[in-house]
Structure 1
Amino acid sequence: MLRIILIMTLVSLHSFGQDSLQLELSEIKVSANINQSEIIKTARNVSVISAEEIAKSPTKTIDGILQYALNVDVRSRSPFGVQADISIRGGHFDQTLVMIDGVKMNDPQTGHHTLNLPIPVELIERIEVLQGGASRVYGPNAFSGLINIITKTSAKGASSVGIAGGENGLYKLDGTLALQGKKTNSFVSLSKVHSDGYSYNTAFDRSSIYAKTTIESKKGFLTLQGGIMDNDFGASNFYHPKFYDQYEETGSRFLALSKTHNFSNKLSGTLIASIRNHKDLYDFNNYIDSPQTYSSVNFHKSNVIDLEWKMRYLSDFGASSVGVEWRQEGIISNRLGDEVSEPKEVKGYSGIFYDKAKIRQNFSAYLEQQKTFGKLMLSGGALLNFNSQFGTKLYPGLDASYAVSTGLSVYGTVNKSLRFPTFTEMYLNTSTVKADPNLLPEKAINYEVGVKRFTSWTNFTASVFYKQTTDAIDKIKRPNLEVPTMENIDNINMAGLELVGQFDLAKKLNNSNFWFQKLQFNYAYLVADRKEIDFQSFYTLNFLKHKFGVGTFYRLTKDVSASVFYTYKLRKGNFQLDGESPLQNYKPVHLVDVRVDYTRKRFKVFVDANNLLNYEYFEFGFVEQPRRWLSGGIKLTF
């Protein structure tokens, strides 16, 4: 019923409209601060993945696209978006904020669910990746960085149907209906992806629906969007190397309304209201097959309500912004939270109850002032945050950018960031981990300096950063303890170097048919000043020491193009198969992915080869990733 209501609500608003705007990369307004700035002027390291790059990438999911981004660590337990953990600058999977058009999508149960998003890649206009802590602007979850997925606003040419298939019983069916009016753009998209799995108990079946309507008025625009995703998958040895019959079912739903209103040329405001629900069924070892063992299955439902209001005023003193946000995070579970007086039976599982729950409130108020003094741009602000579980704290920050010349700028920034522990970190006690309900929020001070160089056909950014973290939350295995524990660890400092660039040769030569179209690259180096002495770190000290990526784009004929991506990763940290096995270091990873496509005006055929070299590799110590996987498909647009 919810799906039907969602579709009817959004499509029925189709009597209005809004046009899209095409911008050069250097002119794109990015979300590094409240007062959005052109990327060349932004005093942060921000990467932008365009719709064109997404369309040419040999991947079909958001996590696959992010795999190629600067200093983004995507650790998959299974491919094609089944489950992927995402982190930035050496953080772990609970430290990155993910947004859709500025709407926050993080799940309070665990970061494992953050990328359970129903957004089809075909409707993504661009993805912004902000490196480093941004709590002063975006609140507690933006601890190590943020990812903002910007969806398309124009429905022109967006209607499509597609079919894809490949090895291991893979198939994907998708379709998008786009309706464009004088003052409205509406989308409804459906997708189904299935695979029989690449090894024992790795099959998955995922379906999703996403809908969006944007209405333009003389004073601004209104956007209503929502989506549903259900994903069932085999989780062979996901969380323990000796249990091959693990299984999981997840489902996410969200609905968001945003209204931007221009009161005058100087004053504008935005109101965002959203609700997100997530369900999770996790079975460690076939317990779900018998009513007698239902009690050993994990059942969780999380719920998030978020209201945010912000205003911007332009004056002789620059751009002044102020905002407030209220966020309620809750969960009911048979594992996580405090005991409840009135348990609620789990639907479909007689005798099993949601007998635990937890709710916490978070209120934040923030302000920012941005002012340009000739070639110097300053942006400073602070977030005052109150949490019902963790109290009140102030998180300030300052950014500075100086335009040395046209297309060349230098910048520096210092920001404090924070993150509250998830319900899993605080309450999950199993045979593989012991939680701590008294965990403290983790805090960090982030320093960064960098240089940016943009021309009509190139862009280049280099930066160095230093992060001081206190009360870092980690899963720790100590020799004298049989089970790893969740702990706060002090005094972890991390430094790094980042390089990212792009060369658009076709634009340089003013020849769209030149065979070598574009080259892009990125490199990140990270080092921490703390070592794993007498303990094993599962999160904080388990990061990519080196990550190098290069992508090349070719036009083989007028209608045939190709792209090749190479990724090198060397991970710090170690793992062990069980308590009796010795610790093992991660081996270097070399991955090559290729896409070749044939495109006419409304017709596209593509072939993908992932892990072309058939490389054996691991993102988590004991979960082997797929070898070479060939697939292909057809897409019709109208």
Structure 2
Amino acid sequence: MKKVLLCMVGFGLISSLKAQNDTTTQKLDEVIIQENRIQIPFSKQSRNITLVDKQDIETTPARSLQEILSFVPGVDVRQRGVTGVQADIGIRGGSFAQTLMLLNGIKLTDPQTGHHMMNIPVPLVNVDRVEVLKGPGSRIFGQNAYAGAINVITSLNDEKYLRFQGYAGDFGMKGVNFAGSLPAGKYRQNLALSYDDSNGYQYNSDYKVSNVFYEGGIDLNDQNSLRGMIAYTDRTFGANGFYTSAFPDQWESIQTTLASLSHKLSLSNFYLNTRTYYRHNADEYRLRRNEPEFYQNNHTSEVFALEANGNFKSSLGTTGFGLETRKESLESNNLGNRERNLSGIFLEHFINLGSKVDLRGGIYSNFNSDYGWKHFPGAEVGFQASEALRFYSGYGVSYRIPSFTDLYYVGPTNIGNDQLEPEEAQNFEIGAKWAKAGFRGELVYFLRNTDNLIEWTRPDENTPWQPQNFNEVKFNGIEASLFYRVNPSGNTVQVKEFSFSYNYINADLVQQPGVETRYALTALKNQVIGGVLVGVGKKIEWNTKMRYVERMNQDPYFVLDMRADYNRLGKIGFFAEASNLTNEEYIEAATIQMPGRWFRAGFMLNIQ
């Protein structure tokens, strides 16, 4: 903890250098949050939302989206090895299965297991920004946005460009990333490719990851536009300790394909977005890498969905509406052949009550072929006390259905439970936002009462894990953050960005006598995140990031990362990164020891 206090003091001293006297308005405040129906500017949101923009993505010492998310306040990233070859993401003490991942609003939930939710088939170089919604998201995005949702957003460019990046580092690590835009008349298109591999930092931790992403769109006229996307990712890796420490030779290979097509109709007071998408995931798992006959699982899941979302404006405000239908299927030598259908109806309304107060409320009704109808209401109220200060509060019901692994898995260390009921939670939050002269701060208190929490348990280490429904669990916590950014001035030394956050989470799940739990009592408890981006002259940037993480019933750890860039925005640039400069011994997931100090360096080529 002394290290954390020293860093806090250091960051505070550095932030005092803000005497650059730059009062640039935050461009982030003008960003429209990309929800599927009612879209509200970031500064007017009555929710706790974090934006990770292009500058954050490009300057953070990270080689994957998972690593970048580890610096988002309130987000608990549990990596199994480096560069996020597989990682679980939790929000506000929730498990990996309680977070919904989206790509341009498309749900990436895998019916087999939540461990696949970060198999996002988009090279990092092509990600425009990431929107992290903390708190219940079922009313906005549907089921499984239980503790929060993360929307990865790409954009189509009107101008031609080419970006190429290559790097190499410790553990035999190397990779290349390519992104290009080649508009042709009214048709805009992006292509992105990436390849990363490593020999591994410990026994059986090697990996190979490939991504292919293509996106195209055309404006048919002023009111109608089409957009299509097809993407593919291949991840093959040694899985030492990923699911059990008893078998160090585990191995897994996962291939995910995603395709979508959407149409937008935009009129003066009416908006409609219709979309269809398909997701295919193939997962081969071996308990002994070179002995598939010893124990092997082969799962193939498919998701096909249709959606229609829109809004219309009237003198009474903005009304949002939506319909969705989704079919999930699985073929598996372990879980059997499974199928379920889901449908949903969204309805919400946003209205300004005078010049300072706004109210947004609605409901999501879901039908599941296994569990019938469920209804999830919610509402937020905002009060704009001044141009800089906003207060808000909200309530919502969230929901998650068990995965097929939760229900049906049979293995030597894990056994499913086909009697599981869905999880539900009542959520409440109250907070305040402040933004002025390049600064942005937020303070939030949240409370989540969970019914039928799904948790993997066992009576002793000789008995396989099995999920059970706990009757009631309460999570509450406080989130505080401060962010500062100015435009570069070209001064010899300039603090371009400063961030600091503290998150505290308390869970009242009481350990039952003689019962061991896997996830709930290892939830995030204390989290401190800080960062300083310093510009030296016009071409050099130096980003320092720190994390102090303490999970319930686990040892805390402190990790310090750095990245230096030369000419990042120029035609050719260079960078060097270092992770875990403190050489900390720590574990994020299962019993997997994360690597000590490690380095990588590379170059960037930008042509327009």
Shared fold per TM-score greater than 0.5: yes
SS in 2 for 1:37: coil
Q: Deviations over 1:350-388 (max 9, x none)?
A: xxxxxx210100000110011001211100100111000
Match of 2:446 among 444, 449, 465: 465
CA distance in 1, matches of 2:303, 2:171: 36
Look up the SS of the partner of 2:115 in the other structure.
helix
Contact kept, 8 Å, 1:32 with 1:42, in 2: the verdict is: no
Contact 1:409 1:453 in 2 (8 A): yes
Please state whether the residue corresponding to 1:433 is helix, strand or coil. coil
Q: Which of 573, 579, 600 is residue 631 of structure 1 equivalent to?
A: 600
What residue in structure 2 maps to residue 86 of structure 1? Answer: 89
Task: Give the letter for the 1:594 counterpart.
Answer: M
Counterpart check, 1:75 vs 2:78: yes
Task: Find the counterpart in structure 1 of residue 318 from structure 2.
Answer: 319
- 1:184 is displaced (CA, Å) by 2.9
1:162-561 to structure 2, matched below 5 A, reads 162-216=165-219, 217-262=221-266, 264-286=267-289, 288-289=290-291, 293=293, 296-336=295-335, 356-374=336-354, 375-479=356-460, 482-505=463-486, 514-534=493-513, 535-561=515-541
What amino acid is the match of 2:496? Q
| SS state at 1:361 partner | strand
Say whether the 8 Å CA contact 2:191–2:215 is kept in structure 1.
yes
The question of whether the paired residues in 1 share the 8 Å contact of 2:156 and 2:190 is answered with no
Q: Deviations over 1:583-605 (max 9, x none)?
A: xxx21111111100111621110
Give the Cα separation in 2 of the matches to 1:364 and 1:563: 44
Q: Deviations over 1:573-627 (max 9, x none)?
A: 3xxxxxxxxxxxx211111111001116211100010111211110124110111
What residue is the counterpart of 1:603 in the other structure? Answer: 572
Q: Distance in 2 between matches of 1:511 and 1:630?
A: 28
Paired with 1:147 and 1:331, the residues of 2 have a C-alpha distance of 25
- Please list the CA deviations of residues 422-478 of structure 1 after superposition, one character each: whole Å capped at 9, or x if unmatched: 000001121212211111000001000000111131111110000000010000122
- Between stretches 510-519 and 606-615, larger displacement belongs to 510-519
Q: Is the 8 A contact 2:244 2:590 kept in 1?
A: no
Distance across 2 between alignment mates of 1:213 and 1:541: 45
CA contact (8 A) 1:506 1:513 kept: no
For these two proteins, the number of residue pairs brought into alignment is: 579
- Give the secondary structure class of the aligned counterpart of 1:563: strand
Identify the range of structure 1 (25-34 vs 522-531) with the bigger mean alpha-carbon deviation.
25-34
Amino acid at match of 1:93: F
**What is the DSSP-based 3-state SS (H/G/I as helix, E as strand, rest coil) of the residue aligned with 2:596?**
coil
- For residues 122 and 161 of structure 1, the distance between their equivalents in structure 2, rounded to whole angstroms, comes to 9
SS in 1 for 2:588: strand
Out of 483-492 and 83-92, give the one that drifted further.
483-492
Offset of 1:41 from its aligned partner?
Answer: 1.6
The separation in 2 between residues aligned to 1:106 and 1:158, in whole angstroms, is: 32
Indicate conservation of the 8 Å contact 2:485/2:498, yes or no: yes
Q: CA deviation at 1:117?
A: 1.1
Residue 592 of structure 1 aligns with which residue? 560
Q: Distance in 2 between matches of 1:29 and 1:334?
A: 45
Q: Distance in 2 between matches of 1:480 and 1:242?
A: 11
Query: CA 1:302–1:74 in 2, change beyond 3 Å: closer, same or farther?
Result: same
RMSD value over aligned CA atoms? Answer: 1.7
Secondary structure at 2:125 match in 1: helix
Equivalent residue letter for 1:116? N
Deviations 1:237-281 (A, max 9, x none): 22221311111101100001122111x200110012110000111
Q: Shift in Å at residue 33 of structure 1?
A: 7.5
Identity, % of aligned positions: 30
CA contact (8 A) 2:485 2:496 kept: yes
- Three-state SS of the structure 2 residue aligned to 1:406 is coil
SS of residue matched to 1:54? helix
Name the CA distance, whole Å, in 2 between partners of 1:557 and 1:434. Answer: 58
Aligned residue for 1:11?
none
Question: Is residue 65 of structure 1 aligned with residue 65 of structure 2?
Answer: no
**Shift in Å, 1:174:** 2.1
Distance of 2:491 and 2:460 partners within structure 1: 61
Cα distance, 1:221 vs. partner? Answer: 2.6
CA contact under 8 A between 2:36 and 2:309: conserved in structure 1?
no
The whole-number CA distance in structure 1 between the counterparts of 2:492 and 2:317 is 44
- The residue that corresponds to 2:138 in the other structure is 135
Contact 2:78–2:588, Cα closer than 8 Å, also in 1:
yes
> Which residue of structure 1 lines up, in the alignment, with residue 156 of structure 2?
153
Cα distance in structure 1, aligned partners of 2:205 and 2:288: 14
Task: Give 1:223 deviation, angstroms.
Answer: 1.3
The alpha carbon displacement at 1:550 in A equals 0.5
**Cα gap change, 1:93 to 1:624, in 2 (>3 Å):** same
For 1:512 and 1:602, the matched residues in 2 are separated by: 21
Q: Which range moved further: 199-208 or 184-193?
A: 184-193
> How far apart are the structure 2 equivalents of 1:485 and 1:312?
43
Show the counterpart of 2:9.
Answer: none
**C-alpha distance in 2 between matches for 1:629 and 1:314:** 54
Contact 2:506–2:525 (Cα < 8 Å) also in 1: yes
CA distance in 1, matches of 2:536, 2:521: 44
Aligned partner of 1:530: which letter? L
Cα deviation 1:188-209 (Å, max 9, x = unaligned) = 1111101000010100011111
| TM-superposed deviation, 1:547 | 0.8
Deviation at 1:311, TM superposition (A): 2.0
CA contact (8 A) 2:167 2:602 kept: yes
Q: Pick closer, same or farther for the CA change 1:66–1:530 going to 2, 3 Å.
A: same
| Matching residue of 1:622 | 591
Q: Compared with structure 1, are the counterparts of its residues 304 and 512 closer, same or farther at alpha carbon in structure 2 (3 Å cutoff)?
A: farther
Q: Which residue of 2 aligns with 1:350?
A: none
* Distance in structure 2 (CA, Å) of the matches to 1:259 and 1:132: 29
Q: What secondary structure is seen at the aligned counterpart in 2 of 1:30? A: coil
User: What code does the residue aligned with 2:67 have?
Assistant: G
Checking the alignment, whether the CA contact within 8 Å between 2:351 and 2:360 is kept in structure 1 is: yes
Q: 1:403 to 1:587 in 2, by over 3 A?
A: same
Amino acid at match of 1:367: L
Deviations along 1:11-33, whole A, 9 cap, x unmatched?
xxxxxxxxxxx981111111468
Q: TM-score, normalised by structure 2?
A: 0.92
CA contact (8 A) 2:401 2:421 kept: yes
Alpha carbons of 1:366 and 1:529: their partners in 2 closer, same or farther (altered >3 Å)?
same
Residue identity in the other structure for 2:374 = K
User: 1:78: Cα distance to partner?
Assistant: 1.6
Q: Distance in 2 between matches of 1:603 and 1:492?
A: 53
Change (3 A) 1:207 1:506: closer
Secondary structure of the corresponding residue to residue 128 of structure 2: strand
Counterpart of 2:555, as a letter, is K
Paired AA for residue 313 in structure 2: L
**Counterpart for residue 583 of structure 1:** none
Contact 2:432 2:443 in 1 (8 A): yes
Contact 2:243–2:590 at 8 Å: present in 1 too? no
Show structure 1 runs of 5+ residues with no match.
1-21, 337-355, 574-585
Distance 2:35 2:218 in 1: 26
Q: 3-state DSSP class of the match of 1:174? A: strand
